[in-house]
Amino acid sequence: MTGPGRLGDLLDIELPIIQGPFGGGLSSVALTSAVSRAGGLGSYGAHMKTPRAITELVAELRRATDRAFAVNLWVPQPGEEHRPDPRELARHVERLRPYYDELGVAPPEPAELGPRPRFADQLDALLAAAPPAISLVMGPPPSRAVVEARRRGIILIGTATTVDEAVALEEAGADAVVASGSDAGGHRGSFLRPVRESLVGTFSLVPQIVDAVSVPVVAAGGVADARGVAAAFALGADAVQVGTGFLATRESAAAAPHRYALADPSARHTVLTRLFSGRPARGIVNELVTELAAHEDAVPPYPVQNALMRPVRAAAVEQGRAERLNLWSGQAAALAQHGVTAADYLATLADGLPGGLPDGLPDGLPDGRPVGA
């Protein structure tokens, strides 16, 4: 039997399987802690949280599990500090007016389009809270964060969508690199070149990054069952990161219409879209995406578009309107198991690890059954 591998040694986890972090309210303490307690690495997307909320989140996660977990932040992108003038803003609002009217909501006030919590402040709060691991998307860790993380014993995980990004992350001081193939759901993490020039499939990306860096490599994108796990390790990965599959488990914070969409045959059809947040993200094609497809390049960047769409998303959840909701999903949604617990799903993924289940696995799942049963 194999051991947990290099990433497991860094984080003291039994299973080299990471639950992908979810933003936009899809993460939950219940999911993060359930994965960690069952031997993997649970993750929580905190990019919209204030520094104070991040401090409270890490404390809550520590109460929920005594095992390793990761908290994820987004690195700001150039151009996202731009705020539209009143005339420009009016054009963006009018584009969405039919949806505001249809759902019975008002567009956000200009003051609501202001800057989100500052990344530097979020990062300072997270470093001070000292979770076992910090993961970043859309850029390398700042040098000061690397110094402080090493002082505090925090593992830094970066996300790469190309080989060049992986090399840049290692050079910046990341302890591990997630190789995020274009199959992956949710927001793309490209930062050296535009997303359209960085769409490398998982099977092409992982072995090239394995050859290019010396730190542990985590395969992400299109991994949703034991076969995907086995394939990732065959490509040389040290671990896998699974997003959509965990989004379908009981403990995730995905709303009912999102869950139904993941289980529907329509989940076979996904697209990269800026329409919901202003940053390219992969989700299931629905009516809103189709109706506004011609405006992909016209919508403002994150966080303005994200704020403009917030009332639409909230009302779509409340009214059960999947056709108006951002249905983030990877290209392997059809392989997910719906309605199962995170621990049960993790156990099925572990069946794909090379050589069988690793030594040191907990004796059983939280309900007492053997892992893998």
> Does residue 131 fall inside a structural domain?
yes
What is the pLDDT averaged over residues 92-118? 91
Rounded to whole angstroms, the Cα distance separating 100 from 242 reads 34
Q: What is the DSSP string of 269-336?
A: -EEEESTTTSS-EEEE--HHHHHTGGGTTTSPPTTHHHHHHHHHHHHHHHHT-GGGS--B--TTGGG-
CATH number at residue 100: 3.20.20.70
Token pair 């069946």 is at which residue? 351
Token pair 């394995």 is at which residue? 210
pLDDT of 371: 37
With H, G, I as helix, E, B as strand and everything else as coil, classify residue 12.
Answer: coil
| Consecutive H or E run containing 160 | strand 155-160
> Does residue 143 fall inside a structural domain?
yes
Of the given ranges (111-115, 125-129, 149-153), which has the lowest mean pLDDT?
111-115
Model confidence at 1: pLDDT above 80: no
> Does residue 346 fall inside a structural domain?
yes
164, burial (CB in 10 Å: exposed 0-12, middle 13-18, buried 19+): middle
pLDDT of 355: 67
> Does residue 373 fall inside a structural domain?
no
Rounded to whole angstroms, the Cα distance separating 278 from 281 reads 9
Look up the domain containing 220 and give its range.
5-350
Model confidence at 44: pLDDT above 50: yes
C-alpha neighbours within 13 Å on the C-beta side of residue 128: 13
> Does residue 367 fall inside a structural domain?
no
| Consecutive H or E run containing 19 | strand 17-19
What is the pLDDT averaged over residues 184-208? 97
> Does residue 191 fall inside a structural domain?
yes
Model confidence at 363: pLDDT above 70: no
Quote the number of domains for the chain: 1
Q: What is the pLDDT of residues 54-96, one digit of tens each?
A: 999 999 999 999 999 999 999 998 878 778 899 999 999 999 9
C-alpha neighbours within 13 Å on the C-beta side of residue 163: 11
Structure tokens at 246: 């965990």
> Does residue 230 fall inside a structural domain?
yes
Cα 220 to Cα 166, 224, 255: the distances in Å are: 13, 10, 23
Structure tokens at 290: 């189709």
**CB environment 44-75: b (16+ within 10 A), e (fewer):** bbbbbbebeebeebbeebeebbebbbbbbbbb
| Consecutive H or E run containing 340 | none
Angle at 32 between CA 36 and CA 44, to 5 degrees: 125
> Does residue 366 fall inside a structural domain?
no
